[in-house]
Chains A and B, each alone.
Chain A
Amino acid sequence: MAKITYIEHNGVEHSVDVPAGKSVMQGAVDNNIPGIDADCGGECACATCHVYVDAAWLDRIGLPAAGSQEASMLSFAAVTQPDSRLSCQITVTDAMDGLVVRMPEGQH
């Protein structure tokens, strides 16, 4: 279990407990947190669960490998930044307690 804070683009914060083994995307969807659409349901095939990983966590969470499906899908998403990830590709562990992710202006 890890407490994860999702911050909407308008600044509204949601802190929820997400069981280890679930994805960061599932944590948002299960708790009806707006701002993560996840159209494809976690297949890394739509880029609508795009988040920015908080700077304090970026080293530990890491970035998608060059040439990976996640990097490819992210390259088509709008408003990406160097700290962009697809939240369906981040599997929650107990060590992620306190993780903060922010939502982009829109999921595309």
Chain B
Amino acid sequence: MNAPVHFDPASDAFNTPLDRIDVSNPRLFQDDIYHPYFERLRREDPVHYRKDGMYGSFWSVTKFKDIMAVETHPEIYSSAAKLGGISITDRPMEFRRSSFISMDPPRHDEQRKVVSPIVAPANLNNMSGIIRERVCRVLDGLPRGETFDWVQRVSIELTTLMLTTLFDFPKADRANLTYWSDVGTADVNAGGIVDSEEKRLEILGEALRTFTAMWHERAAKPPGFDLISMLAHAEATKNLVNDPQEFLGNLTLLIVGGNDTTRNSMSGGLWALCKHPAEYQKLRDNPGLIPSMVPEIIRWQSPIVHMRRTAVADTELGGKQIKAGDKVVMWYISGNRDEDSIDHPNDFIIDRARPRHHLSFGFGVHRCVGNRLAEMQLIILWEEIMKRFPRIELMEEPKRIYSNFIHGISEMKVRIPE
């Protein structure tokens, strides 16, 4: 926790003048103190305008139903990269890279359909065996009776291995995928290695070169069932490699989407169970609850904090007048705690009646293409954990990243009792 001890977030959240509240401050998420700010907005000003905030002027959409309204009207709320794309950060124009998540229909539809078969039901069945083998190997290699970092040993290792399968990428070089994923989403003000868009592009240039070589190799061969081969052989994307910025945009999307999100749910789920011992006991008593626990973990973690749209027409939302050109931010992390749409939203409950009714995957045409793969990985992980370890102990509070986009856990010390 970086917050000074005398600072009371609830008091600050409810005493700051409404028009001064800025929920885009990444420190709120790094210090895990964001809840009261969103609680106040949901209650007093659910569609909230912040003028000249840390990330410019923007509308915050904080309630489940209003977020759903934005999601289902892509003709009003655009994802287009050139308008600003899907993140609250307005990158300089020359660094705005298109990808199918930062595109509107119909081009979005054409590109998305190229990659979606890799996460279709039949292929999920094909992949489940290899995922379980890896989970078993990683869990069996964990130390007993000593403190270790769950993020490095489990969450990063498993999700990066998953990416090597999806891309048919050399396993020995897999640390690059984790690195590029982190670089792709790093906030330039976080104090890390990516302190400018130029630096980000320089590092991602390595990713671009690596994948361009793989592309040409695979384009020359018969179609294979990995993401690069699928893109190289599909009519809608076969020339993507000739547009390096859009190719890089799509690579970043697939790497981050297939990695960072599930990584943080793997960490956040264990954290949630450790903080809710009665639910952890419920799980020990009935591991059959895992399939309903997993979507609850994904709601609880909300691995993507927000998605951004840009209005392309004047419209009304929650009684507010939105103007064409306005930046509209859907705070999934807030909608997932909306008492009008989710019963007891501030409780972590592993056997909810409708656990998949959450916003973490988004809704509408941009809904997470890999959502069932993410759930499957988490289900297998928890099935194998419960076969081996009745209890894993949290040794200290997790360290979180400085970001208002990725709800990330960078380190979480745990111990498996001997």
Contacts and interface: CB of A to CB of B under 8 A. Distances in A.
A108 B71 contact: no
Interface of A: 29, 37, 39-41, 43-48, 69, 72-73, 75-76, 78-79, 104-108
Contacts of A48: 356
Nearest to B295: A39
A94 B72 CA distance: 30
B367 interface: yes
B141 to A, nearest CB: 32
Contacts of A108: 119-121, 371-372
Which among B354, B367, B369 has the highest number of chain A CB atoms within 10 Å? Answer: B367
B364 interface: yes
A78 B72 contact: no
8 contacts: A40-B363, A75-B113, A76-B113, A76-B365, A76-B367, A76-B369, A78-B121, A106-B124
Contacts of B112: 76
Nearest to A108: B372
B105 interface: yes
Nearest to A73: B365
In the A-B complex, the 9 residue pairs with the closest CB atoms: A106-B121, A45-B363, A78-B120, A39-B356, A105-B121, A45-B364, A45-B72, A40-B363, A43-B68
Interface residues of B, number: 25
A45 B71 contact: yes
Which among A29, A69, A78 has the highest number of chain B CB atoms within 10 Å? Answer: A78
Contacts of B120: 78-79, 106, 108
Given A37-B356, A46-B367, A72-B109, 10 more contacts: A39-B357, A44-B72, A45-B72, A45-B367, A46-B363, A47-B367, A72-B365, A76-B369, A106-B121, A107-B372
B351 to A, nearest CB: 14
A43 B68 CA distance: 8
Contacts of B372: 106-108
Given A37-B356, A75-B113, A76-B113, A45 B68 contact: yes
A72 B105 contact: yes
Contacts of A39: 356-357, 361, 363
A59 B371 CA distance: 33
Contact of B122 (A29, A40, A73, A105): A105
Which among A37, A107, A108 has the highest number of chain B CB atoms within 10 Å? Answer: A108
B115 to A, nearest CB: 11
A39 B354 CA distance: 8
Contact of B116 (A46, A76, A106): A76
A89 to B, nearest CB: 13
A32 B407 CA distance: 33
Interface string B347-372: 00000001011000101110101011
B109 A75 contact: yes
Contacts of A45: 68, 71-72, 363-364, 367
B317 to A, nearest CB: 15
Contacts of B357: 39-41
A37 B369 CA distance: 16
Interface string B90-131: 000000000000000100010011001101111010000000
Interface in B251-278: none
Contacts of A37: 356
A105 B288 CA distance: 21
A58 to B, nearest CB: 23
B80 to A, nearest CB: 17
A104 B372 CA distance: 15
B271 to A, nearest CB: 24
Contacts of B71: 45
B378 to A, nearest CB: 16
A76 B122 CA distance: 15
Given A72-B365, A75-B109, A76-B116, A43 B122 contact: no
Which among B72, B105, B364, B365 has the highest number of chain A CB atoms within 10 Å? Answer: B364
Nearest to B365: A72
Interface string B364-385: 1101010110000000000000
Contacts of A75: 109, 113
A72 B345 CA distance: 31
A79 B121 contact: yes
A103 B112 CA distance: 24
A69 B121 contact: no
A72 B365 CA distance: 7
Nearest to B366: A76
A23 to B, nearest CB: 15
Contacts of A107: 372
Contacts of B105: 72
